[in-house]
């Protein structure tokens, strides 16, 4: 096809699935050349004098549709000085040109719910009728131009190539006014031979990129649909007889001890004469010792490829794994055989490792491995899809710090430097082809079944393999994601298998057979069973019944908003069965980007925030366990804990007062003598003694029993004891520093506990007054007013300080602001009776009685349509202490109860929080494995968790006691009762629950599972109020996380409406409070119900 730059001829390219490139160089391994021998690190590869970076400022023109694009801008004579400047790489929508669009599975330009163009027709109202068609009336075009100077010396006797790291979604290239070529496929490099076009002196590089092409039908990934040049652009040169490509297969022998090296080097002679070239290689270990090398002379035929092959055995090689990423330095040198002059030098780090599947298990270096993975996107909230090396390294560091050893590149390959960093620091990579045609779905319309699209599918798969074939970190190829199954994926599987001589496994998540879609009988074109979002029960089923292939879900634990519940439950199952070899959390990072509102406040934007009636899936792109800036979400702490590779299991107490602990080594290669172990004895939250203890060099996948003495601890009455175990690195381990905590556990020591009632006498005398509306109780230290109409405390004053005012005493509460998972499982609709019960409760009766120096106020609430009653008894003592006893009767509604609790307010000055319970981070009943029971301190303002769409947050479980103090250390203490099996659930915030809810009322019908009517759509809508709101609960439902569209939390983390529920707590006012006082008060009040 010949290029002619007219208004209409572009559609022969951008609407034609058969045209995926023109004049583009075949894909090759990632490398650049050097003119001489040196020791250049991979991070400095582009410092080669044979590389000219084109990153930086380009002239830029943006138009809304193709007919408006400039046609002759690429000609050097055309003046573009009046154009805007844009940085490269960048996404032009993020830079202010056009509109960022976020949708999940449908095509943003062909969304049946909100098409951006009337030109797109649909079959059955859902499927684009003409796949490959893109809008003509709205398809923005970016035209780029850059002027550079090139010296004649740089061009002399060289072949010159233009490298465009990634352009979305397709574009044309000119150099000095001459048409060079076309490329689509936006997540792999496009390289063009521009030797005949560049000249000494001034050169003009021009690109014209289209937002949507037919290739966009294969790029329907769940991320921002944005455009531009997303990775670096540069020119590079090589000798006229050049190393075109090379492939390294560095595996292990059958004993997994010695290394087998096979090296293939391709030469291309661009000259008209034959040339004898001496090719040599040298392999050195990490100490610089030469371990292999060879040379040979080959005749390079004019305008042809010539191949040199080398092989060697490296004895007792140091193998590569994620735990020990040993690398070797490979140097390839070409010389002119006649003169001995160096033509070019290539350096590359390689690793020896062997990946195979044997007896249904995934093995690395002969060892069964477990992939503790996350899915990850290219995302920076400042720049969109453009990631710096610093941010890549930050991600890798955080993965290693949090026990994540594997990433699935969802759903496209990354830039070259990313793989080098994974090689260096040890991350297992599932490299995924840039294929997702979710908008065509999986039936008869899927592009997987259309042979006219086979070329486009295969090109994306094979180009990925060619680019990344030499990276030891890449252990699995993935053919794509959510693109149906059919002839194109059968062909893709076979083609990758034929091409990759290292025999990596190939996976694809959509390989269900059409007849029954069972996980036990997946189709032949996947080596691993990689489903999406199995529940813990499905893991259990697959483990119990075994599988013929490894079971490693490509996506699980959907982490949207306040999520990642029952994560420990997954891994309790995974660790029981060999064929369950991990999984990949969806996903690593929230994908919101920064936007500034009309007041100048920056906030994280998501779908729909850019207007223009664009299709949107709202905040469904925020599924990370870190926020967009990589600050941790509470879920990350849970992931780190659950992904630990050292387990500690209690085995009872010895006669010598030693705690027997089974130490399990779940590492695949590391021995436990890499770590220092300590045990810390904790009593009532106070750290009493730290005991170092020895763990032998426990081998991978084995266990040893150790004994930890605690006989030096003299048990005290009414004290709860725990032992906190920690494993920290003895020395630096790659990117992890000496002293890094790799694993920890908290175990109770019930053998030391003895509880007895020890309440002291109350010295004050209480008096009471009562009328039709109010009960007044008072003594010399407190005054309490009780509103009989509202059924709550309206004022509570202790030692002259008001702890409760404005009628904001404890009130029954059965609702929480819906999380993203709650919206997905329709809690806001199915469980609405419990919000109505909270809002519309009626006081049936208030009764007061006095006796034994105490005054008891009993309140009965009728809970609207639930048919239940909530009974509260306030037992008030003369010293101002109040015991609150609650009972919720069984309900007539089938909907589980979102929470059983009470909420109240205190003045804002009581903003110093201390608590003894699970912390320090936010935790819920199904996400608290990482939250140890200790004493924690915080300002109330620090309790807020800024989820991008505001929702339930800041909760703590297992609360024994909590205090709210002012600056003078006066305040209120909340203490659990011994009758509460799970103690208390608790939160303290400067906001109301309603601030995080979709609506303050009970009508959610307009939301349809999204936050369309939420007046608090973003964190900028959340403001601190002049109050402290407390939630004091029996519990609330878990946050869930199997998925975010229909699954409720697991049944054991729901509150059964068919049962009655009781719980109680103490309100204890104090002056001059400190930790010692709080512990003493807890010891006095907590055991009062001990029988």
Tokens standing for residue 1077: 């006082």
Angle 389-401/416-425 helices, nearest 10 degrees?
30
Q: How far apart are CA 762 and CA 667, in angstroms?
A: 57
Query: CA 902 to CA 813: how far, in whole Å?
Result: 5
Q: Write the burial class of residue 749 (CB in 10 Å: 0-12 exposed, 13-18 middle, 19+ buried).
A: buried
- The DSSP 8-state label assigned to residue 466 in this structure reads H
3-state secondary structure of 1086: helix
* Residue 770: active-site member: no
Residue 411, preceding peptide bond in cis (omega within 30° of 0): yes
Residue 1072's CB is within 10 A of a number of other CB atoms, namely 9
The per-residue b/e assignment along 609-647, b for 16 or more CB within 10 angstroms, e otherwise, is: bbeeebbbbbbbbbbbbbbbebebbbbbbbbbbbbbbbb
User: Residue 540 is encoded by which pair of tokens?
Assistant: 């259990």
Query: What is the CA angle 523-529-534, rounded to 5?
Result: 120
Three-state secondary-structure class, residue 249: strand
Q: What would you report as the CA-atom Rg of the chain, rounded to the nearest whole angstrom? A: 33
Q: Is 914 exposed, middle or buried (0-12, 13-18, 19+ CB in 10 A)?
A: buried
Q: Nearest-CA neighbor of 932 among 737, 765, 583, 682?
A: 682
Q: Please give the distance of CA 691 from its chain centroid, rounded to a whole number.
A: 36
Nearest to 670 by CA among 1072, 335, 369: 369
Which residue in the list 247, 436, 459, 555 is annotated as catalytic?
A: 555
Segment 394-400 long-range contacts (CB within 8 Å, at least 24 positions apart)? 394/630, 395/588, 395/589, 395/630, 396/421, 396/422, 396/425, 396/427, 396/735, 397/425, 397/735, 398/626, 398/630, 398/632, 399/374, 399/427, 400/425, 400/426, 400/427, 400/734, 400/735, 400/736
Interatomic CA distance for residues 858 and 855, integer angstroms: 10
Q: Of 95, 230, 278, 482, which residue is the catalytic one?
A: 482
Which ranges of 958-1052 would DSSP assign to H, the alpha helix?
none
Mode of pairing for the β-strands spanning 474-478 and 506-507: parallel
Cα separation of 7 and 278, whole Å?
Answer: 51
Residue 457: enclosing H or E segment and its boundaries?
helix 454-468
Mapping DSSP to helix (H, G, I), strand (E, B) and coil, where does residue 877 land?
Answer: strand
Q: How far apart are CA 681 and CA 723, in angstroms?
A: 5
**Helix or strand (DSSP H, E) at 860:** strand 854-863
Say if CB 886 and CB 1062 are below 8 A apart. yes
Instruction: Identify whether 1005 is a catalytic site residue.
Output: no
> If DSSP states are collapsed to H, E and C, what string results for 62-116?
EECCHHHCCCCCCCCCCCCCCCEEEEECEECCCCCCCCCEEECCCECCECCCCCC
Neighbour tally for 478: CB within 10 Å: 27
94: phi then psi, degrees, rounded to nearest 5: -70, -30
Strand 328-336 relative to strand 342-350, pairing: antiparallel
CA 761 to chain centre: 54
Q: Are 984 and 959 in contact (CB under 8 A)?
A: yes
Q: Are 890 and 1059 in contact (CB under 8 A)?
A: yes
Active site members: 482, 555
């Amino acid at each position: 096809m010949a290029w002619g730059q007219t208004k209409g001829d572009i559609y022969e390219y951008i609407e034609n699935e058969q045209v995926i490139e023109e004049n583009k160089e075949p894909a090759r391994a990632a490398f650049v050349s050097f003119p001489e021998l040196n020791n250049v690190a991979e991070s400095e590869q582009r410092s080669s004098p044979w590389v000219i970076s084109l990153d930086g400022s380009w002239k830029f023109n943006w138009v809304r549709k193709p007919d408006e694009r400039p046609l002759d801008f690429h000609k050097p004579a055309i003046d573009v000085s009046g154009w805007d400047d844009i940085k490269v790489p960048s996404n032009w929508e993020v830079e202010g040109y056009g509109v960022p669009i976020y949708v999940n599975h449908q095509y943003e330009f062909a969304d049946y719910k909100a098409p951006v163009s009337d030109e797109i027709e649909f079959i059955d109202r859902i499927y684009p009728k003409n796949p490959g068609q893109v809008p003509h009336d709205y398809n923005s075009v970016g035209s780029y131009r850059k002027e550079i100077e090139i010296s004649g010396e740089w061009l002399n006797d060289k072949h010159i190539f233009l490298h465009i790291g990634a352009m979305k979604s397709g574009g044309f290239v000119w150099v000095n006014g001459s048409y060079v070529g076309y490329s689509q496929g936006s997540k792999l490099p496009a390289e063009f031979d521009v030797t005949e076009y560049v000249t000494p002196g001034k050169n003009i590089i021009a690109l014209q990129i289209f937002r949507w092409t037919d290739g966009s039908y294969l790029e329907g990934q769940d991320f921002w649909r944005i455009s531009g040049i997303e990775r670096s652009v540069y020119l590079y040169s090589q000798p006229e007889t050049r190393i075109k490509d090379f492939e390294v297969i560095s595996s292990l022998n059958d004993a997994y001890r010695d290394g087998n090296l096979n090296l293939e080097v391709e030469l291309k002679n661009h000259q008209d004469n034959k040339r004898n070239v001496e090719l040599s290689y040298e392999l050195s270990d990490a100490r610089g010792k030469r371990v292999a090398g060879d040379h040979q002379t080959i005749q390079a035929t004019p305008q042809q490829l010539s191949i040199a092959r080398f092989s060697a055995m490296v004895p007792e090689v140091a193998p590569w794994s994620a735990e020990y990423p040993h690398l070797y330095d490979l140097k390839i040198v070409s010389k002119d055989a006649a003169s001995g002059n160096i033509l070019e030098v290539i350096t590359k780090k390689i690793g020896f490792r062997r990946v195979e599947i044997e007896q249904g298990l995934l093995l690395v270096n002969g060892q069964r491995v477990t992939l503790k993975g996350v899915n990850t996107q290219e995302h920076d909230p400042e720049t969109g899809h453009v990631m710096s090396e610093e941010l890549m390294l930050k991600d890798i560091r955080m993965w290693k710090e949090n026990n994540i050893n594997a990433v699935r590149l969802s759903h496209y390959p990354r830039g070259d430097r990313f793989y080098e960093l994974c090689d260096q620091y040890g991350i297992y990579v599932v490299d995924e082809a840039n294929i997702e045609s979710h908008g065509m779905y999986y039936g008869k319309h899927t592009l997987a079944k259309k042979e006219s699209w086979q070329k486009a599918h295969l090109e994306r798969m094979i180009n990925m393999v060619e680019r990344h074939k030499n990276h030891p970190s890449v252990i699995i190829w993935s053919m794509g994601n959510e693109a149906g199954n059919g002839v194109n994926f059968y062909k893709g599987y076979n083609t990758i298998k034929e091409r990759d001589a290292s025999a990596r496994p190939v996976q694809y998540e959509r390989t269900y057979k059409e007849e029954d879609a069972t996980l036990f009988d997946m189709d032949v074109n996947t080596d691993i069973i990689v489903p999406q979002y199995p529940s813990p029960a499905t893991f259990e089923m697959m483990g119990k019944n075994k599988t013929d292939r490894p079971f490693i879900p490509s996506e699980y634990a959907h982490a949207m908003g306040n999520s990642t519940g029952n994560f420990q439950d997954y891994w309790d199952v995974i660790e029981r069965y060999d064929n369950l070899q991990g999984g990949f959390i969806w996903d690593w990072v929230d994908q919101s980007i920064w936007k500034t509102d009309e007041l100048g406040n920056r906030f994280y934007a998501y779908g729909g925030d850019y207007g223009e009636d664009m299709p949107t899936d709202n905040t469904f792109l925020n599924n990370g366990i870190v926020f967009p800036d990589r600050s941790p979400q509470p879920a990350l702490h849970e992931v780190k804990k659950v992904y630990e590779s050292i387990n500690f299991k209690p085995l009872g107490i010895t006669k010598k007062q030693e705690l027997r602990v089974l130490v399990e080594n779940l590492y695949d290669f590391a021995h436990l003598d890499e770590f220092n172990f300590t045990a810390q004895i904790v009593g009532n939250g106070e750290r009493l003694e730290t005991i170092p203890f020895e763990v032998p060099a426990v081998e991978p996948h084995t266990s040893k029993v150790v004994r930890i003495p605690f006989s030096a601890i003299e048990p005290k009455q009414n004290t709860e004891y725990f032992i906190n175990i920690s494993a920290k690195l003895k020395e630096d381990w790659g990117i992890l520093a000496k002293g890094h905590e790799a694993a920890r556990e908290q175990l109770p020591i019930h053998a030391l506990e003895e509880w007895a009632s020890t309440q002291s006498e109350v010295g004050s005398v209480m008096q009471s007054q009562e009328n039709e509306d109010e009960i007044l109780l008072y003594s010399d230290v407190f005054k309490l007013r009780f509103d009989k109409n509202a059924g709550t405390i309206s004022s509570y004053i202790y030692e002259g300080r008001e702890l409760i005012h404005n009628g904001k005493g404890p009130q029954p509460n059965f609702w929480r602001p819906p999380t993203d998972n709650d919206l997905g499982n329709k809690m806001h609709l199915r469980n609405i009776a419990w919000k109505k019960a909270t809002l519309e409760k009626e006081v049936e009766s208030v009764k007061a009685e006095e006796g034994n120096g105490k005054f008891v106020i009993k309140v009965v609430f009728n809970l609207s349509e639930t048919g239940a009653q909530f009974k509260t008894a306030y037992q008030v003592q003369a010293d101002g202490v109040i015991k609150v006893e609650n009972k919720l009767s069984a309900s007539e509604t089938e909907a589980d109860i979102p929470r059983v609790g009470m909420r109240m307010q205190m003045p804002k000055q009581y903003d110093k929080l201390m608590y003894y319970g699970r912390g320090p981070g936010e935790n819920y009943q199904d996400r608290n494995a990482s939250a140890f029971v200790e004493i924690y301190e915080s300002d109330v303002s620090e309790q807020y968790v800024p989820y991008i769409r505001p929702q339930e947050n800041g909760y703590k479980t297992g609360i024994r006691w909590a205090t709210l103090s002012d600056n003078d250390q006066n305040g209120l203490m909340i203490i659990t009762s011994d009758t509460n099996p799970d103690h208390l659930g608790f939160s303290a915030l400067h906001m109301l629950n309603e601030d995080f809810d979709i609506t303050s009322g009970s009508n959610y019908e307009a939301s349809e599972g999204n936050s369309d009517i939420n007046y608090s759509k973003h964190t900028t809508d959340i403001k601190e109020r002049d109050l402290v709101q407390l939630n004091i609960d029996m519990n609330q439902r878990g946050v869930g996380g199997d998925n975010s569209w229909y699954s409720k939390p697991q049944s054991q983390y729901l509150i059964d409406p068919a049962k009655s529920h009781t719980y109680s707590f103490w309100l204890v006012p104090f002056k001059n409070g400190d930790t010692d006082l709080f512990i003493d008060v807890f010891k006095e009040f907590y055991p009062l119900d001990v029988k």
